[in-house]
Amino acid sequence: MKIDIPMMRGEIPRFKEHLLPDEAAAYALDCRFERGIVSPIKDSRPAFVLPIAANTLFKYSAANWLCWSQRVSAIQSPMAQDEWERVYWTGAGRPKVTAQDIAIGANGFGPAAWYDLGIPRPTSSPVVLSVDGSTGEEPPAGEAPFLMMKTGCISRRMFPGLGKKVRRGSRLNPC
């Protein structure tokens, strides 16, 4: 199929695509249109040489790339106007993040350094060291032990063994 553009006017990025004349483009990459003819820029030289055999490339800035030897999914920071220009990726073990101060190495490629996302797993389980008078009151005599949760003005009692909430207005929860 031949695409015929009789007279190419060039790129006009300030207009919406549906408002462009038939002879103009919203975005034109690697092409020449000097004399009204669209032709590709022919160049057999490589633009750059990667430091590794990359499986995934991510354009970090106008002149820098992030590359990985395995397949990863990378995104720019979802935060608008991120002053640290962070990039998040997953697929190479734990999810990771890098920022502008550590992203690019001396060779112009990255990621040179990164941080693992998440909280490190604790090395031991939590331990209660002391119980004092500020922890609550003893349950009334004859009642089963319960757990009291207060959120705002609503109090709910839960029995640890049963895993059920006590209904409002019951003998154990008069609220």
Residues 110 and 70 occupy one common structural domain: yes
Given a cut of 60, is residue 157 above it in pLDDT? no
Residue 121 belongs to some domain of the structure: no
> Token pair of 166, please?
């006590």
Residue 175 belongs to some domain of the structure: yes
Residues 60 and 35 occupy one common structural domain: no
Q: Which residues have C-beta within 8 Å of that of residue 92, sequence separation ≥ 6?
A: 68, 70, 72
Q: Of how many residues is the chain composed?
A: 175
Range of 82's domain? 56-116
| pLDDT score, position 155 | 46
Give me the chain's average pLDDT, please: 77
Residues 85 and 109 occupy one common structural domain: yes
pTM value > 0.95: no
Residue 48 belongs to some domain of the structure: no
Residues 106 and 81 occupy one common structural domain: yes
Please state the domain count of the chain: 3
Residues 22 and 74 occupy one common structural domain: no
Pick 46 or 68 by higher pLDDT: 68
Residues 26 and 67 occupy one common structural domain: no
